[in-house]
Structure 1
Amino acid sequence: MGRSAGFILWLTGLSGAGKSTLSRALRAHLASSMPVEVLDGDEVRTWLSRGLGFTREDREENVRRIGHVARLLAKHGVGVIAAAISPYASSRAEVRRLAEEAGIPFVEIYVQAPLDVLIARDVKGLYKKALAGELAHFTGVSDPYEAPDAPDVTVHSDVDTVEAGLWRVLETLRKRGLLDAAAAA
């Protein structure tokens, strides 16, 4: 059985990079050994951050809200998987700092793919709209994305399978003592 203390896995990356896909795989794997909750950026915007726009200030507030809920859950033994673009390094650093100050392990996972691959994938049709000028403030096109300088884990979703990304994250958790060997297998 896994450890009883919670942690935060913070998946960051551009739209369509595979954050939600990897978070679902992580949840499916971890749920047999501990309580797990996914805070998906799209869902959080619908329920917790309704009314926020896409200005820098609103994006930072959205990340703060996700971070706050993640800390509350992790404090009570939940493995939290937060999957949100979270484009600004300062916001991610603040979430990490607050988690670590509360004694909650924090793992930043950069889900990365080149922009041309994301444009080709464009599952939601957002890149097409952004490139046509129909969608303002789109991260990676008309708004910046500050890639992590030193993420704890990087998953290259253009070449890594979901399983390879999952294994990389689980191995990091095991090495940090956040999962026992059975839960990481």
Structure 2
Amino acid sequence: MNAFYNKQGIGDVLLVQLQTETPEKILPEQNGDVTLIKDEAGEIAGFNLFNASSYAELPEGKKVEVTEALVTSLQNALSKNEIDFTLEVDFSPKFVVGFVESKEKHPNADKLNVCQVSVGGEQLQIVCGAPNVEQGQKVVVAKVGAVMPSGMVIRDAELRGVASSGMICSAKELALPDAPQEKGILVLPEDAEVGSAFQVKA
């Protein structure tokens, strides 16, 4: 689940995204202060909560940290607007330390590599175009569902016919201070703990 709030830009409306993919066809349904966003199959892809500041404490800024307190407030808001829907939220970190187990050339693209990356308890296949990615590195991985500082949402993808789940990040993409301008992923120190959360400022 991702949440966005920009009171100056669009008013007192909280935008809540429940699916990583944007539906091709959107079917809105209004219930009081809530507009449900449904896909063609009738599944709730997200919702807009109007008069949001009366339901939850919201910081100024586009990206809102999804906490248990926020989810509780949103669940109460849905109930007050007579919507029978239970929010199921994954609170696991979306930016984590990964270890590049292997790197192979992409079969259909000269400048891309297919990496197998351990993120602690699971292994992800990530297609990476950075010139400096190598086997044995500790790196920052944005998992599917992560929202980059730029606002881009990380989704499952297929790059030139090869599946990719997540992104190996550069310092620039993570909006770190003094990030180098040249292309290349951020390589972490050897003592970085694989699977641990990496703090990213939205």
**Normalising by structure 1, what TM-score?**
0.25
Q: Which has the higher contact order (CA 8 A, sep 6+)?
A: 1
Which structure features the higher share of strand residues?
2
Q: Which structure has the larger Rg?
A: 2
